[in-house]
Amino acid sequence: MSDSPSKINLLGLSPSKLEAFFEELGEKRFRATQVLKWIHQFGASSFDEMTNISKALRARLAEVAEIREPEILVEKFSKDGTRKWVIRMDGGTAIEMVLIPDGDRKTLCVSSQVGCSLDCSFCSTGKQGFNRNLSTAEIIGQLRVAIRSYGPFDPSGERRVTNVVFMGMGEPLMNFDNVVDATELMMDDNAYGLSKRRVTLSTSGVVPALDKLREVSDVSLAISLHAPNDALRDQLVPINQRYPIDELIASCNRYLKGLSDKRVVTVEYTLIAGVNDQPEHARQLVKVLRRLPCKLNLIPFNPFPNSGYERPGEEAIAAFKQVMLNANILTTVRRTRGDDVDAACGQLVGQVMDRTRRSQKYIPVVQEEPIQGKTQPL
């Protein structure tokens, strides 16, 4: 994305903010709907394309506004259909983005921040520290870039992105307003029209922000639990020292209660060898999960240099899963996908770092493995 701070980037305006923008220009509010459709349904990048808007207004818009999306630096295709991009954000920062096809589903994993301040001990983003929040335009721009990569821009077509998960870089609830605006655009019928079940915000448990989210959104929720007791979670997910497991579970239950439809929380649990993968941990986890309508997603640890942690062996993963299944907890194991592009991506990250002097993150490339014949939306 090039920097032109004087112009407002309409790509990042939520439906209500776009209405306010047009009102301020002295225009009717329905212009917002027209422009929203041009930008997000037809992928317009210039006002000239907007043929149902008068030439005079188009000229005026071009003076004060722009439609600017992130630039693709690198695009990679895996043999299994997984796509990976390195995209350039404002100011030269670059992030990685992954699209994972799985049957009819195409799940896009987006980032909300460059880096993260929450410092979870097993997370490479956390280890890099916090750089900055992404703007709404930079978040929604990730979706637009992914859709465009399939050829003619068509968010509702057969090859569309069907699901979005905030499981890339950053803690979405620490970038609250921009993330909420981006999810609004993802779910708005005049924009991307994704159902609320297909947009999932993953959080490590910023409880006050989660309580605030309930007031403004009904996006689907995933929580990064990773430990079945506070002593261990305090070490792995330091924000637990402020908002312990009991408070997080209570907040999730409040969130679910506020929804108009019946939904469950996805609980993410990264399995780390010898740390949180023992039978005793599984038994404790059963007790915690009994208190929340949920499904469990086990994520074998993705190693990165100097992490000090290891991925458990297949037997330990299977044994852990079995304890959960025996307790009738719906459980999936995420499997690494796109290995062939991963290796290349590591090298590419090096090149990008040289150019941008910013740190990069390895985003796990994943797939859910259906258990007992059930496939689940993430």
Given the complex with ligand SF4, which of 204 and 251 has the nearer CB atom? 204
Tell me: does residue 147 bind ligand SAH (CB under 6 A): no
**Structural tokens at position 263:** 């939904």
Neighbours of 156 (CB within 10 A): 10
The reply on whether position 255 binds ligand SAH by CB under 6 A is: no
35 vs 282, which CB is nearer to ligand SAH? 282
List the catalytic residue out of 109, 116, 252, 345.
345
Contact between 135 and 178 under an 8 Å Cβ cutoff? The reply is yes
Which of positions 283-302 make contact with ligand SAH (CB under 6 A)?
299, 301-302
DSSP symbol at 113: E
- Catalytic site includes residue 19: no
Stretch that binds ligand SAH, among 56-64, 84-92, 120-128, 253-261 (CB under 6 A): 120-128
Please say if 120 is a catalytic residue. Answer: no
126 vs 312, which CB is nearer to ligand SF4? 126
191 binds, among ligand SF4, ligand SAH, none (CB under 5 to 8 A by kind): none
Tell me which residue of 5, 65, 7 sits closest to 38, measured CA to CA: 65
Return phi, psi of residue 348, to 5°: -65, -40
Per residue in 10-33, is it b (16+ CB within 10 Å) or e — as a string? bbbbbbebbbebbeeeebeeebbb
* Sign of the dihedral through C-alpha 186, 191, 192, 194: positive
| Residue 66, amino acid | E
Question: Minimum distance from CB of 54 to ligand SAH (Å)?
Answer: 44
- Give the shortest CB-94-to-ligand SF4 separation in angstroms: 17
Binding site residues, ligand SF4, CB under 6 A: 116, 118-120, 123, 125-126, 170-171, 204, 224
Name the residue with tokens 């993330």. Answer: 179
Question: Which residue of 341, 364, 368, 378 would you call a contact of ligand SAH, by CB under 6 A?
Answer: 364
Q: Helix (H) and strand (E) counts for the chain?
A: 12, 15
State the catalytic residue, choosing from 96, 138, 184, 268.
Answer: 96
Q: Is 203 in the site for ligand SAH (CB under 6 A)?
A: yes
SS (H, E, C) 280-331: HHHHHHHHHHCCCCEEEEEEECCCCCCCCCCCCCHHHHHHHHHHHHHCCCCE
If one asks whether residue 202 binds ligand SAH (CB under 6 A), the answer comes out as yes
Two tokens at 279? 């039978």
Name the one residue in this structure whose structure tokens are 């994704």. Answer: 194
Of residues 162 through 181, those in contact with ligand SAH by CB under 6 A are 166-167, 171
**Considering the rule CB under 6 A, would residue 107 count as an interface residue with ligand SAH?**
no
Give the shortest CB-128-to-ligand SAH separation in angstroms.
11
Note the residues at the interface with ligand SAH (CB under 6 A).
120, 122-124, 166-167, 171, 202-204, 224, 268, 270, 299, 301-302, 304, 364
Instruction: Please list the active-site residues.
Output: 96, 345
